[in-house]
Each structure stands twice: as structure tokens, then as C-alpha cells.
Structure 1
Amino acid sequence: MGRYALLVQPSANRVYAEASVALTEAELGLFDEQVLGGRLTEVGPEVIGGVPYLTFAADLGEREVALLSYVSTAFALYEREGDLLRPVALVPPDRYDDDLLTVLKYAGKTNETFTRLLLNATLLGRAAPEDLLDRRLRILDPMCGRGTTLNQAVMYGYDAAGIDVDRKDVEAYVAFLGTWLKRKRLKHRIETHPVRREGTVVARRTEASFAASREDYRAGDLQHVTVVRADTVRAGDFFRPATFDAVVTDAPYGVQHGSRGPDRGLARRPLELLRAAVPGWVGLLRPGGALGVSWNTRVAGRDELAALLTAAGLEVLQSAPYLALRHRVDQAIVRDVLVARRPA
């Protein structure tokens, strides 16, 4: 059995950096229990040469290293040989340059590293999480804002869909995606059209298709991003039932953020929004799929949210790593993650 040291990626966000080692330890625990078969032992933080690492013992083959490469903060992996560290090449799952995630800046943007953690935690909560490496999954963010979760799904090579009621956010994301695809000279097609019900325009829908190379595009190996400008409570009106592997969203925090609806103005009660929207989201999940939500625990308790998801027919995941993802964002926000699975 080998001994390893995982170097945690530095974060520009000071508060998130303070929590990153503990969050990475929890994330490693999720990978270990869901897809690594309990291979990791003696997991814990350790300072080596003045630098913080997470160390563990394990037998790792190529597939295990590929899975660990998904860890949101994984910067480098080393095998320990006495006092020396021998580099182990990670296999980054990112299909595109990281500027897809980092270029777009705006107030209230969710930390990209946390977005990846939230997506990972949700994907690992599915009934068949081991297909991370093998299948093009389909991800929905039902409150997508300006698309950080959508872009992370695209980075993994997945298809992504989002819905948001804020016109400015949706238009900003669609413009950014089109510009980014052009700048990267990726062959693509983007179309926006109104969605009508009984002769009335009820939403606007943008469909983008593209590929990482011209060869993939010609072969029809396309990724798809769909964005609908509409109320998330009506998400089931715009997507086919049971077609998403995961629903992943960062809920309004009730402090800096709010939730808007076309006929209800600004709402600052995230739990009420979730109570209205979650049944529709659950209907879009495939059997065995998972819903992951992050939220501000200062405006809604974990037990309240868990009860809401249970009432919607989901199984809330309560293992130790899933209970260790709570962390402070700022003075007014303490964020947590809750993942629940639709029965297969």
C-alpha cells in the first residue's frame, strides 16, 4: 500500500482558502465511499516542508487516479517515498481551457472551486456514480444565473441545461458563451427562439451545440447547452421528464441574493422558493439521479430542507462526508450542501 500527499489548490478567495483543507478532506471521503471502495485510509491534513497537504494511504491504479483527478481542489498528487515526494500525474477531466470558468466576473458569482465541489458531491450521490469517467451525463441547474454550474458541466464534457427568470443574467450568459466559442474557434451553432403556449410567449430558449474539435463536430459528437429564461417553478414545462442525471443549484442566500418570479417580485425566503420548485425538479431527474443544493444555513435549517426533499420523494444522503461540507462564506452566510437521490 502506497502513501500519498495531495496538494490543495491555492484559492484567491481568502475565506474559502481557510476552509479548503477541511472541505477537501470531506470530498475525498465522498469519492472514497462512493467510487473508490474504501481504498483511502489514514486521511488527514499534514504540513510538509511548510506547505499544507492532505495525506492518505491507498492502493491506486490508473482508474483511481483518474477519479481523484476530479477532486475540486486537486492541484498535484505525490507518492511519498521516505522524506521524498514523487509526482503522480493527475488526469484532469477538463475538456476546455479554464477561462470558460474564470473570465466572466460579476457580483455574487459563486466560487468556481465550490461549484465544482457541489457538482462532484451531487454526481457521486447518484445510484451509479462510477460512470463519471465513461458517459456523457446531462446536468440541470434550475437557478443557473450566469452559468457557472453550466460551464463546469461543459468542462467535464457533459451536456448542460439551465433555467433562470432574470433576463440580464440569461442574456449575459448567452452572450458570453457565444463569444467564448468564437474566440476559441470551436465549431458551433447557437439559436434563440421564443417558447409559446396558446399563442402567448412564455419563455425564451437558447440552444447551443458545439464540439471540442472539428473532427468531433463532423462526426456528430456534440455537446449541448440549453438555457431557458423562465420561472424555475415551471421547469417541468420546458424539459422532458426523467432526462437529467443530476440537478445542481446554488440556492438564493436571502441576503445578497434573492429569487425573482414574474408575478411575485423579489422573494427573500429560499425555503419557500424551494418548496414550490423542488417537485418539478424531481420530475426531471432520471431514476437513480441526484439533486444537490447549496444554501445559506442562516435562513433555512438543514433539517427543514431535508424534510422538504424527503417529502418530494428523495432519499437524503447523510453519511459523514455529506455532513462535513458546511463552511463560512462571509459574516452573513454559512453555506452547506445537501444531496438527495431519486430512487432507482
Structure 2
Amino acid sequence: MPRYALLLAPSTNRVYADAAGRLARAELEMFAASGVLDAAPTETATERIGGVEYLTFAAPDPGLGERDLAHLANLSAAYALFERVGEDLLRPLPLRPLARYDSDLVTIPKYVGKTNEQFTRLLLNATVLASASAGAMLDRRLVVLDPLCGRGTTLNQALMYGYHGIGVEHDGKDVDSYAAFLRTWLKRKRLKHSTEMTSVRRDRKLVARRFEAVLAPTREAHQAGDTQKVTVLHSDTLRARESLRPRCADLIVTDAPYGVAHGSRTGRELSRSPLDLLTAAVPVWRELLRPGGALGLSWNTHVTPRRAAEAVLTGAGLRVVDGPGYLGLSHRVDQAIERDVLVAVVPT
């Protein structure tokens, strides 16, 4: 039985790096259970080889094929993959992750409260692998919606994967910051694109501002119509249905307010728990998901217990996923934040 060792990517966040091996193991278990791999990994473990931490695993004969390698290249912590030869040798295997653009699209933005981009990738992976679109992860232009998008970390990761992105954000400064960053980045990279900021009106009333960008990695792709679209709405997430059509997204991926530096609002009230926001918003988000779609949510368990968050999702008609890997994603962010992940799917 072929055996492998995955070298974990270094993380600039020391606290996140401490949990990287355990989180990578849980993520690998999700890939194995999703059915997207022909040779599903088994015997997963973290092991130190030459003093360096690796995620090790085995695969049934004849081992990982090209399609398997293409999927596993997108593990959020993947840095290099080796096949183990005997007791002492590691043979490098090629990793070609979904990376339609340069990585600085996700690494350049730096601001207080930004979600770790490695974790954002893990959350997106966990969500797509639970959905009916798991088998199309590498091939189809999925639509990813972040209804609490901030300055667009999730949207940029969606673009990296070749997907379309939709964001909703109530803070106009964050919307303007994202628009300014993306415009500057596209111009600096000399990518063929178009951008515009428009108003969205219903019954002659302003309901949102909309920033929209259409882009492609090459001029040839743009001319051939092989483009992606990212749309960001400056609007209250509870009013998202005023600007978005139902069943417009394959995936919803979002990071709820942690209730430390930022609270969550429903109406005029500011709450340190995201539970009130989720209770009001999840039924709205549910309408935006296609059948078989999945919602991936991260939040601070210090201010909202897991069971309470699960109850909100099931109450909206979603099925919470508790398969291999999905119950092993809780990790410390700082003294006040213990972050966990919930993924739920729309019944088909």
C-alpha cells in the first residue's frame, strides 16, 4: 500500500500554526469521505520526519492518481507532497492547486480583523466537499456567496479557484476598500477587466450599492468569454433578497462576527453574540442556496455554543454535516476566541 507525507505550509499566525497539523488531518478526512478521490486516504496521522511535522497517510493500490493529486493539491495547509520510499526516502510529487491568479490576490490585503487566508481556504473546501458540487470542484465555475463579506477575503479565494463571487456587506467603507483594492490589483497585474459601481433600486427606492468586476487571467480568455464575475453589495444581509435572486449560489461561506472587537447587528441593537444575527439571517441565506448547496459558517464558541448554532441551521431546513473531519475543526484564535466550523446542506 503506497504511503505519503504531506509537508505543511508555514503560517504567519503562530497560534493557527499550532493547530495546523490537526486541522489538516480533519480536512484530509473530508476529502477522503467526499467521494471525489479514486484512492481515498487512510491511516491519517501527524508525524515528525527529520524534525519537521508532516501529515502522513496511506492509499489503496495503485496509489494516488492524477485526479487525486489535483484535488489534494488544494488542501489549505499543503506545501509539498512526497511518496515514501522505504524507511528513509521521500519522492516529491507534483502539486498543481487551483490558482487562476497570483497568490498575492489573497495575501496582500492586511487589516485588523482579517480572517487568516489559510483558514478561509479550509472553510471553502469544507463547504464545497459537503455539497452536491463536490465532484465539480475542479471543473465547474461555482458561485460562492459571502453574506458577511467584510473586505473580501472569501471572495478573493473564490476567484483564485476560478469561481464567481457574491458578497454582501453593511459597512460601506469595507465595500469601498475592497473595490479600491481589486481595481488597483487588476491594473497592476495588467489583467483585462471591467469594473463599475452602480445603485440598485426597487420601486424607485435605493436598496443597495453594487460593485461589480468582470475579469480573466489572460486577454485571450477574456476575449473568449472565459471570465469570472465578483459582485459586492453594500446592503444589510437581512435584505439580501431585495438585490439577489433566489437560488443564485452553490455555496455560502462566511465568518460570523466574533463578538470581541466586532458585534453583530439586527436592527439598531448591537449584540456580542452572533446568535441573534444568525437566527434572523439564515432563513434569508437559505433562500439564496440552490438544492444540494451548502452553507459553511465559522464563529466564536465562547459567545455562542455549538448546539445553539446547529439549532439555527436545522430550524431553517438545513442538514448539519457531522461526517469524518467536520467535528474536528475547533481551534483557538486568541484568548477570547475559540473558533469552530459548521457546515450544513440544502436537501435535494
Normalization by structure 2: what TM-score? 0.97
Quick one: distance in 1 between partners of 2:71 and 2:161?
12
User: Conserved in 2, the CA contact under 8 Å of 1:195 and 1:202?
Assistant: yes
- Structure 1, 121-130 or 81-90: larger mean CA deviation: 121-130
Matching residue of 1:271: 275
Matching residue of 2:45: 44
Matching residue of 1:333: 337
Cα deviation digits, residues 252-293 of structure 1 (max 9, x gap): 0011122346x4153322000011011110101010000000
Matching residue of 1:241: 246
Trace 1:226-265 onto structure 2 (pairs within 5 A).
226-260=231-265, 263-264=267-268
2:315 is matched by which residue type in structure 1?
A: A
Cα deviation digits, residues 280-316 of structure 1 (max 9, x gap): 1010101000000000001111111111101101010
Ranges of 4+ aligned residues in structure 1 off by more than 3 Å: none
Matching residue of 1:94: 99
Matching residue of 2:162: 157
User: Conserved in 2, the CA contact under 8 Å of 1:165 and 1:260?
Assistant: no
Quick one: distance in 2 between partners of 1:87 and 1:249?
35
Matching residue of 1:13: 13
Gaps in structure 2 of 5+ consecutive residues: none
Q: CA deviation at 1:239?
A: 1.1
The 1:196/1:181 distance shift into structure 2, 3 A limit, reads same
Matching residue of 2:126: 121
Gaps in structure 1 of 5+ consecutive residues: none
1:12 is matched by which residue type in structure 2?
A: T
- Structure 1, 28-37 or 274-283: larger mean CA deviation: 28-37
Q: CA deviation at 1:37?
A: 5.8
User: Conserved in 1, the CA contact under 8 Å of 2:127 and 2:251?
Assistant: yes
Q: CA deviation at 1:207?
A: 1.2
1:15 is matched by which residue type in structure 2?
A: V
User: Conserved in 1, the CA contact under 8 Å of 2:301 and 2:339?
Assistant: yes
The 1:260/1:173 distance shift into structure 2, 3 A limit, reads farther
Matching residue of 1:284: 288
Does 1:197 find its partner at 2:202?
Answer: yes
Normalization by structure 1: what TM-score? 0.98
1:80 is matched by which residue type in structure 2?
A: R
Quick one: distance in 1 between partners of 2:342 and 2:308?
11
1:127 is matched by which residue type in structure 2?
A: A
Q: CA deviation at 1:93?
A: 0.8
Does 1:60 find its partner at 2:64?
Answer: yes
Does 1:207 find its partner at 2:208?
Answer: no
User: Conserved in 1, the CA contact under 8 Å of 2:38 and 2:65?
Assistant: no
Q: CA deviation at 1:235?
A: 1.3
Cα deviation digits, residues 176-230 of structure 1 (max 9, x gap): 0111111100011111111112222121011110111100111111100000000
Cα deviation digits, residues 103-150 of structure 1 (max 9, x gap): 111001000000000000001110241110110100000000000000
Quick one: distance in 2 between partners of 1:37 and 1:276?
41
User: Conserved in 1, the CA contact under 8 Å of 2:106 and 2:117?
Assistant: yes
Trace 1:179-194 onto structure 2 (pairs within 5 A).
179-194=184-199
SS in 1 for 2:240: helix
Does 1:324 find its partner at 2:328?
Answer: yes
Matching residue of 1:70: 74
Quick one: distance in 1 between partners of 2:193 and 2:174?
22
Counting matched residue pairs gives 343
Matching residue of 1:173: 178
Matching residue of 1:312: 316
1:179 is matched by which residue type in structure 2?
A: T
User: Conserved in 2, the CA contact under 8 Å of 1:115 and 1:149?
Assistant: yes
Quick one: distance in 1 between partners of 2:148 and 2:331?
21
SS in 1 for 2:137: helix
Trace 1:134-145 onto structure 2 (pairs within 5 A).
134-145=139-150
Matching residue of 1:32: 32
SS in 2 for 1:127: coil
User: Conserved in 1, the CA contact under 8 Å of 2:37 and 2:67?
Assistant: no
Matching residue of 2:152: 147
Q: What is the CA RMSD across the aligned residues, in angstroms? A: 1.1
Matching residue of 2:300: 296
Quick one: distance in 1 between partners of 2:293 and 2:47?
35
- Structure 1, 151-160 or 126-135: larger mean CA deviation: 126-135
2:47 is matched by which residue type in structure 1?
A: E
